[in-house]
């Protein structure tokens, strides 16, 4: 009798395993939010550098020596390049108005794009070019620069410029602007749909 009753029971509903689709889908929001947080923090790094160099907030740029006070955001860094194959080029660029404008627009544009979550592909390209040039300005690594200040670069390959460039590439490849950002809205704009490199 017990066997007969058991044979007529409705089968138990299927329970997904811990590794099933539901479990995998449940971890996705965590990953996307982690990438969004990385995007926002990285964007703030660029925006803070722009603000500090523009207004001389007293951190990397002393008070009264900001861009709006007539200071140059590139003269000190590029003028202190002590070695490397592009030393003379960087010295000739140091303090040039066009270099200052391009550098500051780059910092502002990259920071705003990251915070908003838009144009991440273009941002990754522009940011990587900027980081490669800054990496080259500190290569080969030295303990001190020409003016005697300590060098931030002590690793000839994986210094912080390389890390930032890789972060930008990863954020663009993972569409990190779609979460906590305007990425989806931006991608739906007609001119962006016509030019996928703008996404």
Domain ranges of the chain: 33-198
**Averaged confidence pLDDT in the chain:** 84
Percent of the chain surpassing pLDDT 70: 79
Alpha-carbon gap, residue 97 to 86, rounded angstroms: 19
Tokens of 143: 């303990």
Could you please report the per-residue DSSP string of 129-178? HHHHHHHHHT-S--SB-TTSPBPS---SSS-HHHHHHHHHHHHHHTTGGG
Question: pLDDT digits over 106-147, tens only?
Answer: 999 999 999 999 999 999 999 999 999 998 888 776 555 555
pLDDT of residue 77 exceeding 70, the answer is yes
Among 55, 74, 80, smallest CA distance to 65 is for: 55
| pLDDT > 90 fraction of the chain, expressed in percent and rounded | 64
């Amino acid at each position: 009798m017990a066997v007969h009753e058991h044979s007529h029971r409705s089968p138990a509903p299927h329970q997904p395993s811990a590794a099933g689709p539901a479990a995998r889908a449940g971890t996705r929001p965590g990953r996307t939010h982690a990438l969004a947080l990385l995007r926002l923090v990285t964007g703030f790094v660029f925006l803070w550098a722009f603000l500090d160099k523009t207004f001389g907030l007293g951190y990397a740029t002393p008070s009264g020596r900001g861009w709006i006070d007539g200071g140059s955001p590139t003269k000190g860094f590029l003028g202190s390049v002590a070695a490397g194959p592009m030393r003379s080029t960087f010295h000739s660029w140091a303090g040039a108005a066009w270099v200052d404008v391009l550098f500051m627009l780059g910092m502002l544009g990259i920071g705003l794009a990251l915070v908003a979550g838009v144009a991440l592909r273009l941002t990754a390209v522009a940011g990587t070019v900027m980081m490669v040039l800054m990496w080259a300005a500190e290569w080969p690594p030295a303990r001190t620069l020409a003016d005697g200040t300590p060098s931030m670069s002590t690793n000839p390959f994986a210094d912080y410029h390389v890390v930032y460039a890789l972060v930008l590439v990863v954020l663009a490849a993972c569409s990190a602007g779609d979460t906590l950002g305007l990425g989806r809205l931006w991608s739906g704009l007609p001119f962006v749909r016509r030019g996928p490199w703008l996404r």
